Amino acid sequence: MKLLQERIVRDGNVKSGNVLKVDNFLNHQMDIELFNEIGKEFKRIFSDLKITKILTIEASGIGIACITAQYFKVPVVFAKKAQSINIDGEVYSTKIESFTHKKTYDVIVSKKFISPEDKVLIIDDFLANGCALAGLIDLVRSASASVEGIGIVIEKGFQNGGEMIRSMGVRLESLAIIESMNAENGSIIFRDE
């Protein structure tokens, strides 16, 4: 998605440790006009799918998922991070290791909000090592629902998450795939360039 690539180049900040900071338009301040274009693009890419629910994870995925849901006209469910949980049978739970915070979270979704008939589109802001996505897929499968597709705003193609998730046979589409980036000179190269 050209508009997104241009925005990443203009406002993205390459940090050490393979972190791309995009808090000017995606992760802290949010550019809703851009989000709107992103939502429209996800709808175009996944227009062949019959989706009943969008699933994301708090916090950064929520804004993108909500705008995207307006195009699919389905509810958004966000998985909640909890430091520790009592598994009381009311929730599906999984563990996710956070790439940016280097911490492991229990992540939960209430059983009320995903059911076996659901056809789920997973939406998230970033894909790095794929831990967050693997956890979300696990939650959907625990509910015996199906993962119809995954939409990612920015995939860091030089990390192994994309390959891992695609090798599971899940349809994964990323609007911008970064082939390489350099913290020293700030350069960002996209896969299709």
Sign, CA dihedral 83-87-91-97, equals: positive
CA 193 centroid distance within chain: 23
Give dist(CA 55, CA 175) in Å, integer: 18
Whether residue 13 is annotated as binding a ligand: the answer is no
Please answer whether residues 145 and 118 qualify as being in contact, where contact means their C-beta atoms are separated by less than 8 angstroms.
Answer: yes
Measured from the CB atom, the residue of 111 and 124 that comes closer to ligand 5GP is: 124
If binding is defined by CB under 6 A, does position 99 make contact with ligand 5GP?
yes
Measured from the CB atom, the residue of 51 and 137 that comes closer to ligand 5GP is: 137
**Interface with ligand 5GP (CB under 6 A), residue from 12, 39, 63, 161:** 161
**Interface with ligand 5GP (CB under 6 A), residue from 41, 118, 125, 148:** 125
If binding is defined by CB under 6 A, does position 164 make contact with ligand 5GP?
no
**Interface with ligand 5GP (CB under 6 A), residue from 12, 39, 63, 130:** 130
**Interface with ligand 5GP (CB under 6 A), residue from 7, 109, 126, 175:** 126
Q: State both tokens at 128.
A: 């790095």
Q: How many CB atoms lie within 10 A of CB 58?
A: 12
What are the phi and psi torsion angles at 49 (to 5°)?
-95, 145
**Interface with ligand 5GP (CB under 6 A), residue from 4, 7, 8, 20:** 20
If binding is defined by CB under 6 A, does position 183 make contact with ligand 5GP?
no
Of 141, 80, 155, the residue nearest 110 (C-alpha): 80
Match 């693997």 to its residue by tokens: 134
Binding residues for xanthine: 20, 27, 156
Q: Which residues bind ligand 5GP (CB under 6 A)?
A: 19-22, 27, 60, 99-100, 124-132, 156, 161
